[in-house]
Structure 1
């Protein structure tokens, strides 16, 4: 099993070019997601939930197949097809909105296309750093990607709001179409070391998808890393997005204050991602990931017990630091530990584990908050995060990685 080490060697030019194109795509996607949600909210809360579900369901159901397709036919080829499909889809959406407005069925159809393409695109995209970067530079490469993703989250919603104000949903769709065009041009120039399709498998794509699951179950490091990812997704991700706003409403804080809490988490993650991108990761990536969960546990506790907004923002910043440590160390651990024949399938499993855990725990924590208030489920998330971190430190495969 390969492990990442700290290195100051420069990142390859093709990776930096691909990362720049990906960043343009992420900004366009974030703007369109905001615009879709805004347009759906005009039809009511149930309609908005239906649009989000139309993205999530095909992405979750098809992601393992998407990983097998990317490993079989080449990640770059799958991404080229995905970008071309989304370029056509977003351009068609812009025209349709201009002609017919934004009826609910059009929004649901657009969301279903996005979710279906994501199921194939995300595993392929997730494997690209390993295909473009030597394994000893993976921590820095993935940290830069993490920073870019957080920047897109911070800038995407305001940009989407501006686009909706100026040009409506059609304007946001046009902007996203342009971003897909940029990514498509970048991909045409980037070549990976593994562009050739994989060997034919007589058992078919479904069997290849299942082989990725069997690999993860057999491999002690991948199995432990995926379990830890599920625990982190369930304990960390709902805190700022779901429980933070509920805590703010409980204290009677304004929406702007709740936004500062979310910004604190993003700032913490960006700080860690920038540091790892510049200086490299800890020598033991498993210990770094476990430390991140334990750090996040402290921040979640601060957020749950915060009597004033400044403490809540400080807590969310600590959560961001812990989340950044976890993501910047676990990502290289999983990607560096996967065999080259199964890179996209392992990324598909990572996406599936996160999606399932998030859907499950968002629902349970929301119901629990309705019954017991927001503070208690937030404290439970703090306990779960800390226990997961300590369990990771006690797991030999993770501790020694």
Structure 2
């Protein structure tokens, strides 16, 4: 039986809409599967080769995602996001079964792991922008803030549960069991999306036109859009300013200050709880009437939290700063994503989502060596100060972009 509903009206809240819940369940299952896959692949590579070969296998899984993300968004716009996510889930199920068989049969050669990682990374590059383009076909623009809050919550849940589940499965049944679990998770996502019947894409906003199909046309559309262009710059600055300190700087800071792994775990846990609170607040409130005010204020709070964390005199203040940073991250991230979804022409949403994800997932890891160099030369706190500076640059973009400042969010209408 297909999951269908009449066109969502103002009274149909996203958290009660079966189509939105089905999409959210598929997205959550896919996130958990992705993270367990990475753990299982890492474990298998370590047991099958040396450190250099392990790095080669992991790079093989990441490189296609960066290279194919934009073409993946263009494909989603051309053939429709539902078809792309269903096909991607089907291929990922098959890849996981092949990986499970390879590990069960014998210790797989490094070349086979590289091939499996390349295929999975390429398919993931198709899935990610397509699944992000579906919400506008499932609910009204007035519910997009709530949908993005729910999406952020699912990301927090996936982050919390994936590592313990993956570690337990690897300890109990080894890598083939983890790959079979992944096949089941991607199969669940496939079933939910197969039964999903999205509505027609909404019309583009008055005064804007649907761009032509194709990657170049999508890039031109973003470059010429008076609100999308600065908004994507803002989100890229936010992602860079956050990711480098919290992925590289936090490890070095914990070592320099003597907090150790336990203290680092407390800081990251406080951030995760704060981010969940921020996402939950968006889910409950469901509207952001002044994004031109909420985003810069939220990024100011993020800048304060980053600098406070980097220069905290003790673990207690560091935990408090991380919690504040997390709350602001949940609000700013959800609000920014909802605004992108609401103002983008539906026919370009796959490509625009791909641009967002490329800057947040594909390219930022390339800057990690820079963060490590800065920390080595000037100390870990400077990395956090640099992240705060990136946030302030984002605030400056909002201040000088009049169309962005003047724009009300559709959820306020």
The normalised TM-score by structure 1 is 0.91
Q: Which residue of 2 aligns with 1:166?
A: 172
Matched, 1:287 2:293: yes
Q: Secondary structure at the match of 2:227?
A: helix
**Inter-partner Cα distance in structure 1 for 2:51 and 2:149:** 36
Q: Which residue of 2 aligns with 1:216?
A: 222
Say whether the 8 Å CA contact 2:301–2:328 is kept in structure 1. yes
Deviation at 1:97, TM superposition (A): 0.6
Say whether the 8 Å CA contact 1:75–1:127 is kept in structure 2. yes
Matched, 1:298 2:304: yes
**Inter-partner Cα distance in structure 2 for 1:62 and 1:400:** 35
Deviation at 1:222, TM superposition (A): 0.8
Match of 1:116 among 112, 122, 126: 122
Q: Which residue of 1 aligns with 2:30?
A: 25
Say whether the 8 Å CA contact 1:292–1:324 is kept in structure 2. no
Match of 2:84 among 78, 81, 87: 78
**Inter-partner Cα distance in structure 2 for 1:260 and 1:39:** 29
Structure 1 segments of 4+ aligned residues over 6 angstroms from their partners: none
Match of 2:270 among 258, 264, 273: 264
**Inter-partner Cα distance in structure 2 for 1:75 and 1:124:** 5
Match of 1:10 among 6, 13, 19: 13
Q: Which residue of 2 aligns with 1:199?
A: none
Deviation at 1:383, TM superposition (A): 2.1
Q: String of CA shifts for 1:232-288, please: whole Å, max 9, x gaps.
A: 121111221211111001112221221121111111111010111111232122322
Deviates more, 1:292-301 or 1:47-56: 47-56
Q: Secondary structure at the match of 1:236?
A: helix
Q: Which residue of 1 aligns with 2:346?
A: 340
**Inter-partner Cα distance in structure 2 for 1:100 and 1:399:** 60
The 5-angstrom pairing of residues 195-234 of structure 1 reads 208-234=214-240
Q: String of CA shifts for 1:143-190, please: whole Å, max 9, x gaps.
A: 101110111011111111111101111111111100111111111110
Q: Which residue of 1 aligns with 2:100?
A: 94
Deviation at 1:315, TM superposition (A): 1.6
Structure 2 unaligned residues grouped into runs of 5+: 1-9, 202-211, 408-413
Structure 1 unaligned residues grouped into runs of 5+: 1-6, 196-205
Q: Which residue of 2 aligns with 1:63?
A: 69
Match of 2:39 among 30, 34, 43: 34
Match of 2:279 among 270, 273, 286: 273
Aligned residue pairs total: 385
Matched, 1:372 2:378: yes
Q: What CA RMSD, in Å, does the superposition of the two structures yield over aligned residues?
A: 1.9
Say whether the 8 Å CA contact 1:234–1:357 is kept in structure 2. no
